[in-house]
Amino acid sequence: MRNPIVTLLTDFGTKDYFVASMKGVILNINPRCCLIDISHDVFPQDIREGAFILANAFSYFPKGTIHLAVVDPGVGSERKPILIETKNYFFLGPDNGLLTLATKQDEVRRVIKLTNKKYFLPYISSTFHGRDIFSPVAGYLSLGLRPETFGEEIKDWVKLDYKEPNIKGDKLFGEIIHIDHFGNLITNINRERFIYFTKSYNFNIKIKGKKVSGIKSGYWEGEKGEIIALFGSCGMLELSIKNESAQNKLKVKIGDPIIVERDIL
Amino acid sequence: MRNPIVTLLTDFGTKDYFVASMKGVILNINPRCCLIDISHDVFPQDIREGAFILANAFSYFPKGTIHLAVVDPGVGSERKPILIETKNYFFLGPDNGLLTLATKQDEVRRVIKLTNKKYFLPYISSTFHGRDIFSPVAGYLSLGLRPETFGEEIKDWVKLDYKEPNIKGDKLFGEIIHIDHFGNLITNINRERFIYFTKSYNFNIKIKGKKVSGIKSGYWEGEKGEIIALFGSCGMLELSIKNESAQNKLKVKIGDPIIVERDIL
Amino acid sequence: MRNPIVTLLTDFGTKDYFVASMKGVILNINPRCCLIDISHDVFPQDIREGAFILANAFSYFPKGTIHLAVVDPGVGSERKPILIETKNYFFLGPDNGLLTLATKQDEVRRVIKLTNKKYFLPYISSTFHGRDIFSPVAGYLSLGLRPETFGEEIKDWVKLDYKEPNIKGDKLFGEIIHIDHFGNLITNINRERFIYFTKSYNFNIKIKGKKVSGIKSGYWEGEKGEIIALFGSCGMLELSIKNESAQNKLKVKIGDPIIVERDIL
């Protein structure tokens, strides 16, 4: 039998004892777990960024993988700790939307509110449920315990969504939803929507008053300093500058607008 | 039989070949090892920070875990490479205090000075004992070799301690001993000491000329920009600002004072 | 049978979904793989830095380890994806020289151009061959498939080399090839060459107009603020300042010159 896989995504950084103590708790319950970091460098308390990263990583893992995610500004408050079972995976984390960009891609089967303290650490701090609640539950879940063991099913949970791009006449209004390690700008306009909108028209893309024409196929295309547009590895329209950070060069941030214009006549 | 666990804590960062070559050496001796990073982002040569992180992570791991820690400004000098066996764990690292905030929590059984070159790499650099001494010893230890195999017992080793907080009249003088990834300020005042000092008196906490009243239960409490006090996940009094870095906002550093005042009358 | 080891080296950083999706793909094909990070903090698109780090880490791993490396500014262009089989290891990555500082140390047996799409992901993006080509091939290779399964042998591939130091009269001209996490400056002058050049002469080392005399044996030597020279853990001449970053103090960068002068008479 293969070892169970537990992935971890947090905004805890990699300097402190936070992530390691979570891993210790899991291994203490099930030493056979294979622990894989998705990211611990989510911008502090940025639920949307965490949700985006999780949504683009989870589906590459084997069926049955347990995805544990903690970006949790409301830790210790009324927000619920939950377990979402989907067609192929288990997701553990706070009920603040963090898990839901991922889970809506994989048929949610049920959502359990974690209430059974038998599977928590004996002493539960009010500041670190990642270690005290989510990790022990991940450990027991990896041993094969059924989801219903950990609490009761709920029908209502927080759902997050990308802001949808918006068509007005011959303009498609989108925005930047993520900026990657290289400074590439990922937008909320996916390939299907882009193609449906531009059809066989000419088009150009506007960002910060600059115009980009055409779609390139890879980052290596384009001249030095030229802004190029392409569809990145997550299927979204992306703006990039060869060997440079488009973020630094254009001085943009998450939420900044991007406009696709069809060229009529 | 479960695979042995070796954790690693260093100030080596994650860019260079340092940590990976240590892991290679361990796996080359015992490919069944499960390797877990505690942290490699300890501030360069900051033994106290390393000791603090290790002390707050080690006890969550399964009995028998080998904790390998290298923050080692004296590498290649007279300082001794040691193995500390405690009730539940093994600790490997330089004899400079790094291991001792952890080991004093878990009954030290014996301390071995590593001298048996049979279990070192054949060529020992003067700059990288993490790879050349500590990692091969961790590998052999994980195979079940007894501690005495690696050298002779010593009775004297460097011990580190937190500076104790200090009571003068109705004031308790503490200091900041750690600043976490979120910019929260961890002090050397633990919950027991705080409660013993404040009893049923009113109190306020002073930092950088600012006053904080009361103890909150979680980071989510308090208004925007308000400094709050709470007991964090390591059991110490902590100062925090909601959704902000208290470190940046208050411009404080490790060692800066914090005063708890009892309100007599 | 021990689990196969796959190492990963990239310039992808640790924030995004990039590295995790690669690991997911590998584990989906072979859940028994032991995945070890070498580094993901290679400076973006810096093939030389990636090659240096890989070359100093790979040989510590067990025979048979698969080293997967992706620093790939030409992803999606004509550059070939390759597999290099050496005496003891397998290397996967782009044909841009990244693998070759390592492979020339371990007897290249053959180089395969990856062409068999049966072992790629079904949909291959033009921007992320790490996930779509190299990771699935690593997964299948770890299952024991023979290198020739993945494509055809080629006789010509991109080789990278350090710029050789240069002797003119009584001066040896070298340069900085790497700056490590601590700000130590690693040069392209190895121990053998240095000893051959200096013989029994006195010598001094010049960097940025400053003179360094003698070779120290460890970082702990030297006074506060003093530049010292030593041979580091990768066998190269290195310049360092005790408890400080030589990089910040001397304001130097990769490629900056360093001169060793023999002191005649």
Structure confidence by residue, pLDDT tens digits, B95-148: 999 999 999 999 999 999 999 999 999 999 989 999 999 999 999 999 999 999
Q: Among C10, C17, C43, C78, pick the best mutation site for testing chain A contact (most A Cβ within 10 A).
A: C17
Q: What token pair was written down for B249?
A: 């906002």
**Do residues A45 and A9 share a domain?**
yes
- For the stretch A238-247, pLDDT in tens is 999 988 999 9
Count of all residues that appear for chain C in the document: 265
| Residue A161 domain flag | no
Looking at residue A192, its pLDDT comes to 93
Measure the CA–CA gap between A265 and B233, rounded to whole angstroms.
64
What mean pLDDT value characterizes chain C?
A: 95
Residue A106 and residue B88: Cα distance in Å, rounded?
42
How far apart, in whole angstroms, are the C-alpha atoms of residue A150 and residue A129?
15
Nearest to A156 by CA among A103, A95, A107: A95
CB atoms B125 and C233 under 8 Å: yes
**Cα–Cα distance measured from residue B241 to residue B184, given in angstroms and rounded to the nearest whole number:** 7
Q: For residue C57, give Cα distances in angstroms to B91, C39, C103.
A: 24, 10, 12
Report the residue of A77, A127, A132 to disrupt the B interface, i.e. the one with the largest count of B CBs within 10 Å.
A127
C199: domain CATH number is 2.40.30.90
Q: Which two tokens stand for residue C136?
A: 């699935």
- Comparing CB atoms, the residue among B37, B182, B218 nearest residue A44 is B182
Q: Is residue C160 part of a domain?
A: no
Based on the domain organization, do B150 and B170 belong to the same domain?
no
CB B258 within 8 A of CB B239: yes
Contacts of C65 in chain B (CB under 8 A): 24
What band does B2 get if pLDDT is binned at 50, 70 and 90? confident
Does pLDDT of A263 surpass 90? no
Contact check, Cβ <8 Å, A39/C16: yes
Say if B186 falls within a structural domain.
yes
Query: For chain A, which residues lie within 8 Å of any Cβ of chain B, measuring from their own Cβ?
Result: 12-18, 20-25, 27-28, 31-32, 35, 44-45, 73-77, 125-128, 131-132
Say how far apart CA B89 and CA B62 lie, in whole Å. Answer: 8
* Residue at a domain's end among B154, B182, B215: B154
Candidates C12, C28, C76; nearest CB to A181: C12
Both tokens assigned to B28: 């080359």
**C17, A39: Cβ pair inside 8 Å?**
yes
Contacts of A127 in chain B (CB under 8 A): 218-219, 230, 232-233
Indicate whether B13 and B132 sit together in one domain. Answer: yes
Percent of chain B clearing pLDDT 90 (strictly above): 87
Q: Which of B28, B126, B131 sits opposite C217 (nearest CB)?
A: B126
Q: Residue A264: pLDDT above 80? A: no
Q: What's the CA gap between C18 and A165, in Å, rounded?
A: 25
- Tokens representing A125? 């701090």
Q: Which residues contact A106 (CB under 8 A, 6 or more apart)?
A: A58, A59, A86, A87, A88, A89
| Same-domain pairing of C89 and C148 | yes
Kindly state whether residue B197 falls inside one of the protein's structural domains.
yes
Please indicate whether, in this complex, the C-beta atoms of B31 and C36 are within 8 angstroms of each other: no
Determine which of B16, B28, B132 to mutate to test the interface with C (most C C-beta atoms within 10 Å).
Answer: B16
Asked if residue B33 belongs to a domain, the reply is yes
Rounded mean pLDDT, C187-199: 93
Q: Minimum mean pLDDT among A261-265, C61-65, C247-251: which range?
A: A261-265
Q: Give the closest of A65, A218, A232 to C77, CB-based.
A: A218
- Tell me whether residue C159 is in a domain: no
**Which residues of chain C lie closer than 8 angstroms to A53, CB-CB?**
15-17, 20
Q: What is the pLDDT of residue C132?
A: 97
Give the pLDDT confidence of A151-189 residue by residue, as tens digits.
999 999 999 988 889 999 999 999 999 999 999 999 999
C265 vs C147, residue with greater confidence: C147
Q: What is the mean pLDDT of chain B?
A: 95
Q: pLDDT category, B265, cuts 50, 70, 90?
A: low
**CB-CB under 8 Å, B180 with A44:** no
Q: Indicate yes or no: CB of A21 within 8 angstroms of CB of B57.
A: yes
d(CA B216, CA B200) in angstroms, rounded, equals: 16
The span from the CA of C253 to the CA of A253, in Å, is 30
Flag whether pLDDT at A20 surpasses 90: yes
C177 and C199 inside one domain: yes
pLDDT tens-digit map of B141-170: 999 999 999 999 999 999 998 888 999 999
Cβ within 8 Å, pair A127-B232? yes
Whether A220 has a pLDDT exceeding 90, the answer reads: no
Interface partners of C (3+ CB pairs, < 8 Å)? A, B
Torsion sign, CA atoms A234, A240, A242, A243: negative
Is pLDDT above 80 for B60?
yes
Model confidence at A222, pLDDT cuts 50, 70, 90, reads confident
Nearest to B98 by CA among B24, B224, B9: B9
Flag if B230 and A126 touch (Cβ within 8 Å): yes
pTM over 0.90? The answer is yes
CA–CA min distance A249, chain B (Å)? 25
List residues of chain B with CB under 8 Å from any CB of chain C.
Answer: 12-18, 20-25, 27-28, 31-32, 35, 44-45, 73-77, 125-128, 131-132
Question: Tell me, what amino acid is at B106?
Answer: D
Question: Which residues, 6+ apart, have CB-to-CB distance to C40 below 8 Å?
Answer: B14, C8, C9, C10, C11, C12, C13, C14, C19
State chain A's mean pLDDT as an integer.
95
Strand, coil or helix: A49: helix
Residue at a domain's end among B109, B133, B154: B154
Please give the tally of structural domains in chain A.
2
Q: Which residues of A touch C13 (CB under 8 A)?
A: 41, 181
pLDDT of residue A265: 58
One domain, residues A145 and A183: no
What pLDDT shows up at residue A102?
97
Q: Which residues of C touch B16 (CB under 8 A)?
A: 39, 53, 180-181
pLDDT for res C1: 60
Residues of A in contact with C80 (CB under 8 A): none
**Is residue C161 domain-resident?**
no
* φ and ψ of A189, to 5 deg: -105, 110
Say how far apart CA A34 and CA A36 lie, in whole Å: 7
Region B208-234: mean pLDDT is: 92
Strand partners, C173: C166, C259
Angstrom distances, CA of residue B160 to CA of A31, B70, B98, B167, C97: 31, 15, 7, 22, 47
CATH at residue C14: 3.40.50.10790
My answer on whether B12 and B131 are in the same domain is: yes
Q: Do C242 and C111 sit in the same domain of this protein? A: no
pLDDT of residue A155: 97
Å between B34 CA and nearest CA of chain C: 9
Return the pLDDT at B130. 96
Q: Given a cut of 70, is residue C221 above it in pLDDT?
A: yes
Domain shared by A170 and A195, yes or no:
yes
Distance of alpha carbon B173 from alpha carbon B191, whole angstroms: 15
Distance CA B105, CA C69 (A): 41
CB contact under 8 A, C127 and A233: yes
Task: Give the per-residue pLDDT at A58.
Answer: 98
In whole angstroms, give the CA distance from residue B57 to residue B105: 12
Residue partners of C125: CB distance under 8 A and separation at least 6: A231, A232, A233, C76, C131, C132
| Cross-chain CB nearest to C36 (options B12, B20, B76) | B20
Q: What is the least distance, in Å, from the CA of A220 to any CA of chain B?
A: 24
**Which are the contacts of A92, defined by CB distance < 8 A and separation ≥ 6?**
A66, A67, A68, A69, A81, A82, A83, A84, A114, A134, A137, A138, A141
Residue of A nearest to C15 (CA): A41
The answer on B214 and B102 residing in a single domain is no
Is pLDDT of A69 > 90? yes
C62/B28 touch (CB, cutoff 8 Å), yes or no: yes
Location of structure tokens 């961890």:
B186
Q: What is the ipTM of this complex?
A: 0.94
Residues A134 and A191 in one domain: no
Same domain, A148 and A203: no
Which residues of chain B make contact with C12, given a CB cutoff of 8 A?
Answer: none
In-domain check, residue C23 = yes
**Dihedral (Cα; A11, A12, A15, A16), 10-degree rounding:** 170
Q: What does the pLDDT look like over A95-139, one tens digit per residue?
A: 999 999 999 999 999 999 999 999 999 999 989 999 999 999 999
The last residue of a domain, from among C95, C129, C154: C154
Indicate if the pLDDT at residue A14 is higher than 70. yes
8 Å CB contact between B174 and B245: no
High-pLDDT (> 90) share of chain A, %: 87
Which range of residues forms the domain containing residue A145? 5-154
Preferred mutation among C14, C19, C216, C220 to probe B, highest tally of B CBs within 10 A? C220
Which residue carries 């706070």 as its tokens? A94
pLDDT > 70: percent of chain C: 99
According to the model, what pLDDT value does residue C265 have?
58
Tell me if C75 and A220 make a contact (CB, 8 A cut-off): yes
- Residue found by looking up tokens 């009010």 in the block: A126
Closest CA to B103 of B151, B152, B157: B157
